[in-house]
Amino acid sequence: MLKIENLHASVDGKKILKGINLEIGSGEVHAIMGPNGSGKSTLSNIIAGRDGYEITQGSISYKGQDLLAMAPEERAWEGVFLAFQYPVEIPGVNNTYLLKAGVNAKRKHRGQEELDAMDFMQIVREKAKLVELDPSFLSRGVNEGFSGGEKKRNEIFQMAVLEPDLALLDETDSGLDIDALRIVAHGVNKLRSAERSIIMITHYQRLLDYIQPDVVHVLADGKILKTGDAKLALELEERGYDWVREEAAA
Amino acid sequence: MSDIVRKVREQGQAAFARLGLPTTRLETWKYTDVKRAMAPFLERLAEAPAKPETLDTATIKALSIADLDAYRLILVDGRMVAEASDLPEGVHAESLAKLLAEHPEQGIEPLGMEEDAPLFNGFVALNAAHAQDGVGICIDDKIKLDKPLYILHICSGQVAHVCHGIHVGTQAEATVIEHYAGLDEATGFTNVVTQVRLMQAGHLRHIRLQQESGKQTHIGRVSVHQRRDSQYSSHSIALGAALSRVDIVTSLAEAGAACNLNGLYLTTGRQHADHHTVIDHKAPHCTSREMYRGVMDGRSRAVFNGRVVVGEGAIKTDSAQTNANLLLSATAEVDTKPELEIYNDDVKCAHGATIGQLDPNQLFYLKSRGLSEDEARQLLTFAFADEVLVSIDVPAVRRHIERAAFSKLPLGADISEVLA
């Protein structure tokens, strides 16, 4: 599904990623953990196509295509989805409209017929239940006046509607209380499938109690220092990140 | 003509003879040169207005706000052609011409001018000298008008000086919509003065929509006088005309009065739209809010000047003003100037003006959901403008303006789905 090779990236001349190698197969759930400033969000932003990053070396191939050559919207049409760490408020733009435009752009790209308003509303109502999103949110402005937890839920709701092949969840657990975390995790688990790969970027092990990853990576200082299974996350929770750094340096 | 009317006419003529049309030498007209726009009308400024063009119902309907449940008055070329029917008890909306003839002491009130008022200029003097008609509205004390009063003015290509008076009594409440439209290809000049008087705890929602056709010149002035605890809420929208200028001057004359001024200007091609506002805090504990937004495309130009004056006695004033502008082309231009004059220490005032482009974070968010660059830009531009319109609480009016704005800022989508 996704293959990142020797990825180096800088922002304003400052090196952030220093040779990332990562391969994610169909249906796999990977967690990328690491301390603040390690480059986790940079990585997810680069995969989703945000401006402002200079790729100095390396490549990302997605379903066999050169991902870095694609515009953000093309990536979305091809099934890439980023659940934002800080979802943006867009007053005045209707939540449902945004999703309908997104779904139909993707369908058009794939040569499928566009959904009409009725069919679409049915899908939307159903998916809203998945994350227990109040239907009144559907007709509000995108994230407008949503609480932190509601914004995160809305991201997972969008993921459910857009049905991506590769979902990046950037710190989806941050700012959630335990109940909201449970709801969001339940939504994500429901969306797991053999065709859908998920990358969870997180600081804490907490999220992984609810969403079991297949693989856990430790990202620090712009590199993947260690890769393991779900047990690695528990070890990190207990021992912090320094030992991984020391081990890598040794 | 009664003596008092004659006196006002003479005063208007004298003031105009002295002032003439404003020129760019005046600080408040620095960015708006009316010379070219006014050239076709110079010979006709003082002529008694001709008979209004006779318009068929289909034409009037096409220019009206659709599906609006309101008391309607229609003026063509500055003359009342259809009066409101079925007005409820305690609500009066009459032809100013009729008032001037039958009750000059009432009719004269909106026509009378204060030469020392802020932004007073030659157009106001012209209006006092020549306005023959308009609407005199009076909402009696404690009356809450059940639906809006809708005043449609259609310019067929003539010179029209129009004068409206709106009196909102103690604890009375009303919504008044002034809608300026024009026939296609009409080269006309509309010069409107609206005088608003709000008595104690009176509340007026005032929507002023300028949608004249592309060759017209539109000049408007709204003066508002607010008594204790009154509320004035305004939406001033400029979409049409080749050149438009609308001044709103509100005087918070007694304690507890509040005003909320909203404005939106969308200009394309070679349009020019100028908005000047003055909020005069004269008394303690008054509140003012102001939000004006503009979107400029093509070679168009917009001007915003918002002055807030907080007088010596106006302690505990709470005032906030913003003006935000989006330039869609490299050749579009905006001149914005918020001005704050404060003469006491016990106030809370904030103001700010921005001129900018779209927010890159919002753009990226939309694109990451599959919207193309163009779609995302159009959507954000529209949403930016729409923020001024969300507070219009007459849905038919809001939808009408959104549709009109939409046709100026094209988006390949169905508007009813897009909006939150």
Residues B317-363: pLDDT tens digits? 999 999 999 998 899 999 999 999 999 999 999 998 999 888 999 99
Q: Is A156 on the interface with B (CB under 8 A)?
A: no
Interface contact B419-A162, CB threshold 8 A: no
- Residue B48 scores a pLDDT above 70: no
Percent of chain B with pLDDT over 90: 84
Residues of B in contact with A97 (CB under 8 A): 413, 417-419
Q: Cβ of A77 and B371 within 8 Å?
A: no
Question: If DSSP states are collapsed to H, E and C, what string results for chain A?
Answer: CEEEEEEEEEECCEEEEEEEEEEECCCCEEEEECCCCCCHHHHHHHHHCCCCCEEEEEEEEECCEEHHHCCHHHHHHCCEEEECCCCCCEEEEEHHHHHHHHHHHHHHHCCCCCCCHHHHHHHHHHHHHHCCCCHHHHHCEECCCCCHHHHHHHHHHHHHHHCCCEEEEECCCCCCCHHHHHHHHHHHHHHCECCEEEEEEECCCHHHHHCCCCEEEEEECCEEEEEECHHHHHHHHHHCCHHHHHHHHC
Q: Quote the pLDDT of residue A234.
A: 87
Residue ranges covered by each domain of chain A: 2-249
pTM value? 0.85
| Chain B environment of A94 (Cβ under 8 Å) | 417-420
* Chain A residues within an 8 Å CB radius of B379: 93
State the pLDDT at residue B101: 93
pLDDT computed for residue B125 by the predictor? 97
A71: nearest CA partner in chain B: B367
pLDDT at B247 over 70: yes
pLDDT of the residue at A69? 96
Structure confidence at residue B51 (pLDDT): 79
Whether A105 and B367 lie within 8 Å, measured CB to CB: no
Confidence of residue B416 (pLDDT cuts 50, 70, 90): low
Q: By three-state DSSP, how is residue B389 classified?
A: helix
Distance from CA of B94 to the nearest CA of A (A): 38
How high is the pLDDT of residue B49?
62
Are the beta carbons of B366 and B311 closer than 8 angstroms? no
> Residue A237: pLDDT band by 50, 70, 90 thresholds?
confident
Q: Hey, is the C-beta of A81 within 8 angstroms of any chain B C-beta?
A: yes
Supply the mean pLDDT for chain B: 93
Q: List the domain boundaries for chain B.
A: 3-357, 362-420
Distance separating alpha carbons of residues B246 and B275, to the nearest angstrom: 5
- Contact assessment for residue B418 and residue B382, using Cβ atoms and an 8 Å cutoff: yes
Distance CA B370, CA B351 (A): 36
- Predicted confidence (pLDDT) per residue in A46-99, tens digit: 999 999 999 999 999 999 999 999 999 999 999 999 999 999 999 888 888 899
Whole-angstrom CA distances from A177 to A181, A190, B404 are 6, 20, 44
* Confidence bin at B178 (pLDDT 50/70/90): very high
Burial (CB count within 10 angstroms: exposed 0-12, middle 13-18, buried 19+), residue B40: middle
Distance from the Cα of B402 to chain A's closest Cα (Å) equals 12
**Mean local confidence (pLDDT), A198-212:** 90
Question: Residue B33: its pLDDT value, please?
Answer: 97
pLDDT for B272-325, tens place per residue? 999 999 999 999 999 999 999 999 999 999 999 999 999 999 999 999 999 999
Q: How confident is the model at residue B90 (pLDDT cuts 50, 70, 90)?
A: very high
Residues of A in contact with B359 (CB under 8 A): 88
Q: What is the DSSP letter of B133?
A: B
Measured between beta carbons, the chain A residues lying within 8 angstroms of B384 are: 92
Q: Is the CB of B383 less than 8 angstroms away from the CB of A90?
A: yes
Instruction: Give this complex's ipTM.
Output: 0.95
Alpha-carbon gap, residue B224 to B253, rounded angstroms? 10
**Among A239, A250, A175, CA closest to A33:** A239
CA dist., res. B168 & res. B184, Å (int): 35
pLDDT at B414: 55
Least confident piece of the model among A105-109, A204-208, B187-191: A204-208
- pLDDT at B126 (0 to 100): 96
Superfamily of domain A2-249 in CATH is P-loop containing nucleotide triphosphate hydrolases (3.40.50.300)
- Per-residue pLDDT, A117: 85
Q: How confident is the model at residue B124, as a pLDDT?
A: 97
